[in-house]
Amino acid sequence: MTGCWWKTAAAVVTAFVSAGCVLGPGQTDEGSDIVSQLKISIPKSATDIIGNTDRGIQFMLPNDQWPGYVDEYYPGATLQQFPAREMDGSAPLECLPALRSGTKLVVWSTGADIQFADTDKHAFRSVSVTPDCISGKTLVQWQLGDLE
């Protein structure tokens, strides 16, 4: 990859979280940063926070925290699951070392439309989680579709 877009995105997200501006589900209107647009919070226990140009963000959480975290946004949802495999590209790059060491990884995912307050705009928001991506840590990946 060229450029430093990911460093800038990570710095913005880190500054946003460090300033105590963690936002709960559905508490924001459409903002310019990806956390506001996704209408999510990033837990204080999150590490390796990386924003990307594909309208998403990812971070690591301790394995025991992801079910409650996802349930905040999709209460009672049945998550789809599929095995993470290197050959078909279903395994996140960050999880390849675990996969190559013999760990059987499963990716859990769900999503739904979200509406922005005081606007008629909405977008499809999805989350994918890969437990044990790194020993004891789950990779959480949020994506936001185009605003409509």
pLDDT value for 124:
94
How many domains does the chain contain in total?
A: 1
What gap in Å lies between CA 110 and CA 125, rounded to an integer? 9
Q: What pTM, to 2 d.p., does this model score? A: 0.77
What gap in Å lies between CA 43 and CA 136, rounded to an integer? 16
pLDDT value for 112:
94
Closest CA to 85 of 101, 60, 109, 105: 105
Averaged pLDDT score across all residues of the chain: 81
* Contact by Cβ (8 Å): 72, 126: no
Domain that holds residue 28: 5-144
CA angle 7, 53, 87 (to 5 degrees): 100
What gap in Å lies between CA 130 and CA 104, rounded to an integer? 11
pLDDT tens, 4-40? Answer: 333 333 333 333 333 333 333 444 455 678 888 888 9
Asked if pLDDT for residue 117 goes beyond 90, the answer is: no
pLDDT value for 140:
97
pLDDT value for 29:
57
